[in-house]
C-alpha cells in the first residue's frame, strides 16, 4: 500500500489548511500560515493561479486530508460518477465512510494518520470481525469497536476522557465505546476544507 512520506506540516502550509488536528500541526499553521519554501513568506505578491491550478490544489487538498494516493483517489472519483445522485456528495460519502475516517470521527483516534495506522494494526472489529484495511467502506448498521485484546494498549489510555468532549457527526453514534453507522453522511457531515465541484471539474477536463 502506498503512503505519503511528505512532511504533514509542510503539506498543510502548502494547502493553506491544517490537514491534521494534532497540536503540532495547528502550532505550525499558527506560526507560519504561508506556503513553505523561499517564496512562501507572508507579504509577498501571491502568484497568479490558473483555473487548472485551482482545481489541482483542491484535489491535492482532499487527497492529503484523507491520506490517499492518486490512483485510489481517482478510483473514488470514477466510482462516484457511476453512483446515482450528486457526484460531489457521492465522492464525499466515499471518503467519509472509509473505516479509518470513521474511527477518527468516532474519537477512537486523535488524527486520521493515527486512525489509519490503528486499523492496519487490526485494532478494530466491524460487526464482530477483524478488519485491517483502512479503505474498507462501512455501511449503515455497521458496528465498530475496539478488539478486546487491544483495549489495554497505551494509545487508548485516555480514551474515556477524550470521548466525553468529542463531537461525533450525525451519521455516527457512539455508546459504551461502540460506534454505529446510523446513516450515510449528508448535509453538514459532508462539509470539508475542499470544494468537490473543483475536483470534479479537474478530472472531467482530463
CA distance 145 to 123: 9
- pLDDT at residue 1 in the model: 44
- Enclosing H/E stretch for 169: none
- pLDDT at residue 156 in the model: 96
What are the two backbone dihedrals, phi and then psi, of residue 138, each rounded to the nearest 5 degrees?
-80, 160
Instruction: Divide the 206 residues of the chain into consecutive groups of 10 and give the mean pLDDT of each group.
Output: 56 60 58 61 64 94 95 97 96 98 97 96 98 98 96 95 94 97 96 93 88
- pLDDT at residue 70 in the model: 96
- pLDDT at residue 35 in the model: 62
Quick check: 57 and 46 in contact, CB under 8 A? no
CA distance 6 to 10: 8
- pLDDT at residue 205 in the model: 82
- pLDDT at residue 49 in the model: 79
Domains of the chain: 8-95+192-204 (1.10.1050.10), 98-183 (3.10.290.10)
Backbone conformation region of residue 175, classed left if phi is above 0, alpha if psi is from -120 to 50, else beta: beta
Give the 3-state secondary structure percentages of the chain, helix then strand then coil, rounded to 5: 50, 10, 45
- pLDDT at residue 48 in the model: 75
**Gyration radius of the chain over CA positions:** 18
Amino acid at each position: 500500500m502506498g503512503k505519503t512520506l511528505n512532511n504533514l506540516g509542510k503539506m498543510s502550509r502548502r494547502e493553506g489548511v491544517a490537514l491534521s488536528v494534532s497540536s503540532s500541526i495547528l502550532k505550525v499553521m499558527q506560526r507560519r500560515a504561508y506556503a513553505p519554501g523561499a517564496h512562501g513568506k507572508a507579504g509577498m505578491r501571491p502568484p497568479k493561479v490558473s483555473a487548472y491550478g485551482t482545481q489541482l490544489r483542491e484535489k491535492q487538498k482532499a487527497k492529503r486530508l484523507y491520506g490517499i494516493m492518486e490512483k485510489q483517489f481517482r478510483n473514488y472519483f470514477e466510482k462516484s460518477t457511476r453512483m446515482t445522485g450528486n457526484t460531489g456528495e457521492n465522492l464525499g460519502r466515499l471518503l467519509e465512510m472509509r473505516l479509518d475516517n470513521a474511527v477518527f470521527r468516532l474519537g477512537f483516534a486523535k488524527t486520521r494518520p493515527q486512525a489509519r495506522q490503528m486499523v492496519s494494526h487490526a485494532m478494530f472489529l466491524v460487526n464482530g470481525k477483524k478488519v485491517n484495511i483502512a479503505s474498507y467502506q462501512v455501511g449503515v448498521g455497521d458496528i465498530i469497536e475496539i478488539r478486546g485484546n487491544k483495549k489495554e494498549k497505551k494509545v487508548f489510555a485516555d480514551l474515556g476522557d477524550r470521548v466525553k468532549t468529542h463531537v461525533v457527526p450525525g451519521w455516527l453514534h457512539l455508546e459504551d465505546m461502540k460506534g454505529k453507522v446510523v446513516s450515510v453522511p449528508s448535509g453538514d457531515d459532508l462539509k470539508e476544507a475542499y470544494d468537490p465541484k473543483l475536483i470534479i471539474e479537474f478530472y472531467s477536463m482530463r
